[in-house]
Structure 1
Amino acid sequence: MEDRQDRDILAITTTVGSRADAERLARAILERRLAACVQVEEGLTSFYRWQGKDCEDAEVRLTIKTLPACEAALGELFLEKHPYEVPQFLCTSMRASAEYLAWVRAEVRAPAAGGEPDPV
């Protein structure tokens, strides 16, 4: 019997300040095969405190569908490519249908122990 954890995918959400930034980040993630899909949602307004000031900014949310084994590599990519000094990096484990999980597994190249993606 398949363990529930064997059917989990990871959804990571982040926000950026523009559609162009969202597209750049999404393309970088997909180029490295660290996700099967990156959804981009415009039309958000974030209210937050930053460096002691109340802020209100338009943002674009990215939802990244990947495998749990890619979490660390995506964190590294965010350090390199994300435009924010402190990017949102929220991870949610989600149980996927067998068919959706098979598609994600086929599209993602989880990094090997050394940090590089497994060869295709």
Structure 2
Amino acid sequence: MSVALAYITCKDMEEAERIGATIVEERLAACVNILPGMTSMYWWDGAIQKEHEVVMIAKTRMQIANRFIERVRELHSYEVPCVVLVPILKGTSNFIHWVEAEADPDSARS
């Protein structure tokens, strides 16, 4: 399959909504889901950090993965943002076709 789920963590709802709106508007993603209320624990600057973050899951195409990742990096506030794409191996065919059609930044649609 040619589609993927992108997992992205953001510092807050405002950042997630800003990034999400931009990548959908620019057709780098067919849609995004924003999930508030996540607690992250991770190593940073030699110590374990604990922060509240927001998770964003986007649906996109693997063919535009590099453009997708670069655009999210441009929009993101973190020095090292978590932006990972996981290929979708199986799904409902109408959903897969919808993602393929909508996540198309080179489309002439506005």
Answer yes or no: same fold by TM over 0.5.
yes
**Residue 31 in structure 1 maps to residue 25 in structure 2:** yes
Amino acid at match of 1:28: T
* Structure 2 partner of 1:100: 95
Q: Could you list the runs of 5+ residues in structure 2 that have no partner in the other structure?
A: none
Work out whether residues 11 and 64 of structure 1, in 8 Å CA contact, stay in contact via their aligned partners in 2. Answer: yes
What number of residue pairs does the alignment pair up? 108
Q: 2:67 aligns with which of 66, 73, 81?
A: 73
Q: 1:83 aligns with which of 72, 77, 80?
A: 77
TM-score by length of 2: 0.90
Secondary structure of 2:5 counterpart? strand
Secondary structure of 2:39 counterpart? strand
Instruction: Please state how far the C-alpha of 1:81 moved relative to its aligned partner.
Output: 0.5
TM-score by length of 1: 0.83
Larger radius of gyration: 1
After the TM superposition, list the runs of 4 or more consecutive aligned residues in structure 1 that deviate by more than 2 angstroms.
Answer: 117-120
Equivalent pairs: percent with the same residue? Answer: 31
CA RMSD in angstroms, aligned pairs only: 1.3
Per-residue Cα deviation, 1:25-71 (whole angstroms, up to 9, x for no partner): 00110111011110000110000110112100000000010111121
